[in-house]
Structure 1
Amino acid sequence: MTDAQTAAERINALRAELDAHNYRYYVLDQPSVPDAEYDRLFRELQALEAEHPELVTPESPTQRVSGAALAAFGEVRHEVPMLSLGNAFEEQDLLDFDRRVREGLGELLPGGDLFGDGPEVEYTCEPKLDGLAVSLLYENGLLVRGATRGDGSTGEDISGNVRTIRNLPLKLQGQGWPAVLEVRGEVFMSRAGFEALNARQAEAGGKTFANPRNAAAGSLRQLDARITASRPLEFCAYGFGRVEGELPDNQFDILQALKGWGLPISRELKRVKGAQGCLAYYRDIGERRDSLAYEIDGVVYKLNNLAWQRELGFRAREPRWALAHKFPAREELTELLDVEFQVGRTGAVTPVARLKPVQVAGVTVSNATLHNMDEVARLDLRIGDTVIVRRAGDVIPQVMQVVLERRPAEARPVHIPEQCPVCGSAVERTQLVKRGKGRETVSEGAIYRCVGRLACGAQLKQAIIHFASRRALDIEGLGDKIVEQLVDTGLVASPADLYTLKYEQVVELEGFADLSTRNLLAAIADSRKPTLARFIYALGIPDVGEETAKLLARALGSLERIQQALPDVLTYLPDVGLEVAHEIHAFFSDEHNQRVISDLLARGVELQEEGGLSPEFAACATFAGFIDKLNIAGIAATGAKNLAEKAGSLEGLVALSRDWLELSVMKGVNEKAKQALREFFAQPEQVQRAQAIEAQLRDFGMHWESEKKAVEGLPLAGQTWVLTGTLEVMTREAAKEKLETLGAKVAGSVSARTHCVVAGPGAGSKLAKANELGVRVLDEQQFLAELETLG
């Protein structure tokens, strides 16, 4: 077989594979390989066709833009083809592009010199959004048609769907726009919008999307425009097609004109000089990529001067005056070699993918998270599969998808172990208990747990690492490796054992000498006086994070009250539901946990900032609220209020439930609720439960009959603040503590309910979201002035 025959066979195979990928990506919105794999195949085809130009055909993927119109939509013929861009993957690719631009312009450049560097040309730079390219046709300022790119010549008519995109004007603003204006841009979905959509889809039992690009494409190409209207789509203009009228003579000013007519453009649009200006922009956006509100996969450079664009013209499938400079791939193909199971602090047994090492976003990846066995089932994952693995920023690599067409015959299913891989204890599936009005439902949870608790070395190590962490007891120098040594040598079998360590025990450990031993023991001694909130967080109660620990400490005031609090009393706390309340109560009811806490206190741990019940918490209980919290079927807030007024007390309520004649003539409570009340208090255990809750409310000084202290409202009570960017005068943690002291809740994301955002240098997507929603924004100096005003 000749070299030409071999090349022809490979070219045909590459074309067939690329066509199949194009169909899945552009038509079905179900890509089966990451972009990096597609780009490799495409570059290989380009190289082979360059070596054998006689084998180039018009239908080759290198000669046309990918995609075909769906039969379900009408067809739109693009009078000006919608071409794709050439790609750069290395800096040298950009330098070569810039050289070709300058060589192509030749004498048009002032002082142009084909043999020297010559003058720098001006480019526009903007992020390359990861969405779906569309064309919008405006006639006399009115939107009359929307279309997808399709194959570049023919697209799909999606006019009804694009009209639902909220940031897209149906009528152009201002004046001076051409009589006919075809605007081109990208329809995309922000990260926040994508996460919210997937959460809604999962809650409704619908299909979740793999990434924002798929979500945007799938949403825009719905046959029912009402579905599109319910999706958080956005549009960003980047160019134009057919025009009947006048436009500015350069790319940058055209986009500014589009912005003036009400069309959104990229906030990151910038003009730069020469290749070095492009590279500086690329590096800057690359560093800020993860803080942007949307996904991007590179940067687009365009020659700014329109006359020079026309001079350079086009190749078969791409303009000579524009380039897409891609970021290193965040998705790659690799092989799943095995699935191992790790045991966490709470005993959760979690599957971890062991992968054939692969470079993803400049980092060698050999492990990836699988979350839980439900995720393994959702992916239909088997050992031996070819998988798509993704890494974004500092996020742990994740297996995104299985390439089913590459599954080997010997692929093996993944099974959860029956015994803990660390201690050999039984592994049990968790149960989810949903508690509602008058009923409990039990279902299987997604998590499997080792039942060995602190007898399991893995759980013990993780528990101590958490106990010593910075936001817990902050024991400096007690890192993971040292904890492993302490547990493996038997020196530590619970967090309380840290406070019994002796110099002669520690100095014998690997890596320790006199000074390091004294430093560690001093750090442990310094941790003996934690605040109550830090101590509660350090205990590692399931579902109790730092904020809930602060809430418990602030409201209940003492460890004793937190330990005693009944689930129903804990639900008086804001943001503590019945499930979390039961987790807290169960933790402190456990004999082993009680023993660890007793040992900690006996070995010198002295809690700081303990005190009385907070006045706000003490004043929150009412008799009507008490009845509502009993969760009697059919009795909501209004019915509880009417019963409270009628009965006056718990004894009166029990008596009323047993006096059918009196109850039957009562107004404001329906018959179903009356029957439920009778049945509820006919159960002795429910009477005892209600009495126990009331008794604790009395003990805590929360009872509606208890004497109340005057409640002084905190100046920021009820407000939600968000901190973003770098604060230079104080740490974000210190700023958070000051805001919480003033009564504010400090959240991690911006929403319409956010009162204020404090934005330091480097603020990204949160600041953009705040500006979009019209939320008040302060810089650090303004924030400090506000703190001073509030005292």
Structure 2
Amino acid sequence: MTEEPPIAVLTDDTAYAEAVQLAVDSAAAYYADGTSTLDDDAYDRLARGIQAYEEAHPEAVLATSPTGKVAGGAVVGDVPHTVPMLSLDNVFGAEQLADWATSLERRLGRPVAAWSVEPKLDGLAISARYRHGRLTQLVTRGDGTAGEDVSHAIGTIVGLPARLAEPVTIELRGEVLMTTEQFEVACLKRQAHDGTTFANPRSAAAGTLRAQDRPYVCELTFFGYGALPYPDDASEQAASLRELPHSEIMTWVAAQGVQTTAATPVAGIVAETLVQVQERIEQIATVRPELPFNIDGIVIKCDLAADQSQAGFGSRAPRWAIAYKLPATEKITKLIGVEWNTGRTGIIAPRAVLEPVELDGSIVTYATLHNASDIARRGLMLGDSVTVYKAGDVIPRVEAPVVHLRTGDERPIEIPQVCPSCGDGIDSSQERWRCVRGRSCRAIASITYATGRDQLDIEGLATSRIEQMLDAGLISDFADLFYLTREQVLGLERMGETSTNNLLAAIERTKAQPLSRVFCALGVRGTGRSMSRRIARHFGSMDAIRAADAEAIQAVEGIGPEKAPVVVAELVELAPLIDKLVAAGVTMTEPGWRPPAVPGIDVDPDAQTAPEAGGTSELPLAGMSVVVTGSMSGALEALTRNQMNELIERAGGKSSSSVSKKTSLLVAGENAGSKRAKAESLDVRIVGPEEFADLVGALL
């Protein structure tokens, strides 16, 4: 699943020497405070290029070369490790992993009894020393033989208790990092004090771990990945720990109150075969985008102490463990421009133009910048080297400028003074700026959206036809479509009798679309297809929605205290448009809705449309969270994904786009891919299109 990345090609001794120096300098910065000139992917390519050159020219090897040294070797430490703190060698795909496993089993003279498979956390390795159960010292990896004392950080690291459950003398090893939430808080604190942000969570963790004189404190997180009795400890407990399989050691570590990955979606497992190892690698890679912390690979090691002991150690890494690297989700590139665009609701949003960079398997040239305030908070400038982050299928975003790489040639980003679409004024009273003309600024975009397949679905109404109507002054919004006369449409260029009749018939049919689609067509900010369905099913009628205040709107699942007032304000702004739709006879109720029962009050059964299948509890998907993936077949083949989601909700379920522990059912068609793998890892029930069609029955 992971292709081996290209290596840096070095042509002569001079290029080799320059590469070695760049690698040494980059490693020194990376392990000191995370401010490397290279991202992980670039460093890996450089290191592999150096290694390839040295294998071809052994006489040219420099003493300063990073090959053969423990990662982080550029950092000077004065606290000796009780046992060397080695790094791991890397593989970049299933084939390389199989080659490494074959070599290891050849060394052992037999198959590996069991494999341990764990996530490779993207942080800093440290040693936590406990005496009689009390945390006394923290030491960084350093050069592998000695590290720095960072005991001043004790008390600021989540997951690393001051006391263990047992009064043992032990050395715990693990990774210190910042979670996504901790990183966001740390950036806010740093901005408040010196106006800049951290480049990424790893650099934030590295700088924070060593910082002693900052006027603010940032929280860190620890995940343990091993436990070592002291070499001179001859106690029975120490002897027992030395003989335990790695998996059982980690169970013991967790029992001491230390955080491990056991409670996360990427918990360590024991696999009996390399096939099972590869399956777990793919499962971890699938859930990676949704983790609240960064990982950059998977660690595979012999689980049994006997296998580890027999395999032994190399000069820089154990022979019984390997790191399977995953594609980078973060890269450093140049911010070469910022484009400002006005959306269909009048929102003015910037977009970063980047020097093309390969990120997570695709070439990225654009990335998200949320708004002008976001640009100011991050301190971005044109020409900056910036970290760009991507997770899964999410649109890439610019994380932060890499301030230490600035040359002095960077320029301020020009902020527009007028709407970039129409040239009218800008309403900057809120964080997200908006053209003062609102939706009318981009009428064609809002009308095209409203009439699209997942909204009103007006068959035969192309964008070019909408442009004609706007230019002719026949419409100014999508409600005007319902007032078009036959003569007006016939008068348009390339509109004959048949095409006119077909278009007017399609518009007339649209009047019967349910409230959920009509509401979605309005394009209310902060809502989309799924949220529109929730709102329609919650209130049942447009009158009820318009009468609701922010508190009532907030009762809809997924609408928080910030979004609710925006929805209320939007509905006030859209009142003339909604009134025109009502007058045109467009449906303003949701089929199958009925008000919640109120004790002591009888509801006239004729006053509401009865649900398709009795009460909510009787519906086939009642209370279930359902995800659809892959190509549907049979009775479901003709349905769009939005129609599938509507079907799920009519059947009493909740449609979702991602698989999680809360998922009740995955409908997996052909080419289901990563969502199926994740569902299998979480033991989520999986059905095919035919079984699902049988399940929802008459609702189809």
CA contact (8 A) 2:200 2:400 kept: no
CA-based RMSD of the aligned residues comes to: 5.2
Percent identical: 31
Q: Which residue is equivalent to 1:431?
A: 429
SS in 2 for 1:490: helix
Structure 2 residues not aligned, in runs of 5+: 1-9, 599-615, 618-622, 633-642, 667-674, 688-700
Tell me the CA shift for residue 361 of structure 1: 0.9
Tell me the CA shift for residue 583 of structure 1: 5.3
Quote the Cα distance in structure 1 between the aligned partners of 2:317 and 2:582: 72
Greater Cα radius of gyration, structure 1 or 2: 1
CA contact (8 A) 1:293 1:765 kept: no
Decide which of 470, 474, 479 is 1:496's aligned counterpart: 479
Q: Which residue is equivalent to 2:201?
A: 212
Q: Which residue is equivalent to 1:186?
A: 175
Q: Which residue is equivalent to 2:29?
A: 24
Tell me the CA shift for residue 313 of structure 1: 3.0
Report Cα offsets for 1:83-119 as digits up to 9, x if no partner.
Answer: 111111233332332233233x1xx424xxxxxxxx5
CA contact (8 A) 2:334 2:354 kept: yes
1:485 aligns with 2:464: yes
CA contact (8 A) 1:302 1:323 kept: yes
Q: Which residue is equivalent to 2:261?
A: 266
* TM-score between the two structures when normalised by the length of structure 1: 0.64
Report Cα offsets for 1:173-203 as digits up to 9, x if no partner.
Answer: 36xx9x6422211123444554566578779
Report Cα offsets for 1:677-712 as digits up to 9, x if no partner.
Answer: xxxxxxxxxxxxxxxxxxxxxxxxxxxxxxxxxxxx
Letter in 2 for 1:528: K
Tell me the CA shift for residue 300 of structure 1: 0.8
Tell me the CA shift for residue 757 of structure 1: 5.4
Quote the Cα distance in structure 1 between the aligned partners of 2:261 and 2:493: 57
Letter in 2 for 1:488: E
**1:30-45 correspondence runs (5 A):** 30-45=35-50
Decide which of 118, 121, 124 is 1:129's aligned counterpart: 121
Structure 1 pair 248–738 and aligned structure 2 pair: CA distance change class (3 A): farther
Aligned length: 617
Structure 1 pair 171–747 and aligned structure 2 pair: CA distance change class (3 A): farther
Between 1:140-149 and 1:578-587, the stretch displaced more is 578-587
Quote the Cα distance in structure 1 between the aligned partners of 2:517 and 2:403: 48
Q: Which residue is equivalent to 1:231?
A: 219
Quote the Cα distance in structure 2 between the aligned partners of 1:312 and 1:515: 80
Between 1:353-362 and 1:293-302, the stretch displaced more is 353-362
Report Cα offsets for 1:409-443 as digits up to 9, x if no partner.
Answer: 87655323455444x322425114xxxxxxxxxxx
SS in 1 for 2:288: helix
1:475 aligns with 2:461: no
Decide which of 561, 586, 591 is 1:605's aligned counterpart: 586
Q: Which residue is equivalent to 2:319?
A: 320
1:51 aligns with 2:40: no
Letter in 1 for 2:577: V
CA contact (8 A) 1:537 1:546 kept: yes
Decide which of 143, 146, 168 is 2:160's aligned counterpart: 168
Tell me the CA shift for residue 326 of structure 1: 0.7
**1:203-352 correspondence runs (5 A):** 208-223=197-212, 231=219, 233-238=221-226, 240=228, 242-243=230-231, 244=233, 245-246=238-239, 247-267=242-262, 268-273=267-272, 275-352=274-351
Report Cα offsets for 1:136-157 as digits up to 9, x if no partner.
Answer: 2233444332222123222222
Q: Which residue is equivalent to 2:94?
A: 91
Structure 1 pair 30–141 and aligned structure 2 pair: CA distance change class (3 A): same
1:151 aligns with 2:156: no
Tell me the CA shift for residue 375 of structure 1: 3.5
Structure 1 pair 93–498 and aligned structure 2 pair: CA distance change class (3 A): farther
**1:627-776 correspondence runs (5 A):** 760=665
Quote the Cα distance in structure 2 between the aligned partners of 1:184 and 1:515: 76
Quote the Cα distance in structure 2 between the aligned partners of 1:90 and 1:612: 55
Quote the Cα distance in structure 2 between the aligned partners of 1:259 and 1:513: 75
Quote the Cα distance in structure 2 between the aligned partners of 1:428 and 1:304: 62
Tell me the CA shift for residue 288 of structure 1: 2.6
Report Cα offsets for 1:310-331 as digits up to 9, x if no partner.
Answer: 3433333222222111111222
SS in 1 for 2:331: strand
Structure 1 pair 219–455 and aligned structure 2 pair: CA distance change class (3 A): same
CA contact (8 A) 2:222 2:259 kept: no
* TM-score between the two structures when normalised by the length of structure 2: 0.71
Structure 1 pair 254–598 and aligned structure 2 pair: CA distance change class (3 A): closer
SS in 1 for 2:469: coil
CA contact (8 A) 1:124 1:271 kept: yes
Quote the Cα distance in structure 2 between the aligned partners of 1:431 and 1:9: 57
Tell me the CA shift for residue 19 of structure 1: 2.9
CA contact (8 A) 1:343 1:349 kept: yes
Letter in 2 for 1:475: D
Tell me the CA shift for residue 302 of structure 1: 1.2
1:76 aligns with 2:68: no
Structure 1 pair 514–48 and aligned structure 2 pair: CA distance change class (3 A): farther
Structure 1 pair 136–582 and aligned structure 2 pair: CA distance change class (3 A): closer
Letter in 2 for 1:231: E
Report Cα offsets for 1:255-294 as digits up to 9, x if no partner.
Answer: 3333344444333222234544433322222223224443
CA contact (8 A) 2:425 2:435 kept: yes
Quote the Cα distance in structure 2 between the aligned partners of 1:248 and 1:515: 84
Quote the Cα distance in structure 1 between the aligned partners of 2:648 and 2:554: 22
Quote the Cα distance in structure 2 between the aligned partners of 1:144 and 1:44: 41
Q: Which residue is equivalent to 1:451?
A: 436
Letter in 1 for 2:394: V
Quote the Cα distance in structure 1 between the aligned partners of 2:496 and 2:120: 54
Decide which of 445, 461, 474 is 1:461's aligned counterpart: 445
Quote the Cα distance in structure 1 between the aligned partners of 2:383 and 2:128: 46
Letter in 2 for 1:461: A
SS in 2 for 1:367: strand
Structure 1 pair 269–523 and aligned structure 2 pair: CA distance change class (3 A): farther
Quote the Cα distance in structure 1 between the aligned partners of 2:120 and 2:11: 37
Structure 1 pair 200–257 and aligned structure 2 pair: CA distance change class (3 A): same
Tell me the CA shift for residue 460 of structure 1: 3.4
CA contact (8 A) 2:679 2:686 kept: no
Q: Which residue is equivalent to 1:540?
A: 523
CA contact (8 A) 1:291 1:764 kept: no
Tell me the CA shift for residue 126 of structure 1: 0.9
CA contact (8 A) 1:554 1:614 kept: no
Letter in 1 for 2:522: L
Between 1:595-604 and 1:606-615, the stretch displaced more is 606-615
CA contact (8 A) 2:388 2:397 kept: yes
Tell me the CA shift for residue 381 of structure 1: 4.4
Structure 1 pair 385–139 and aligned structure 2 pair: CA distance change class (3 A): closer
Structure 1 pair 170–256 and aligned structure 2 pair: CA distance change class (3 A): same
Structure 1 pair 580–403 and aligned structure 2 pair: CA distance change class (3 A): closer
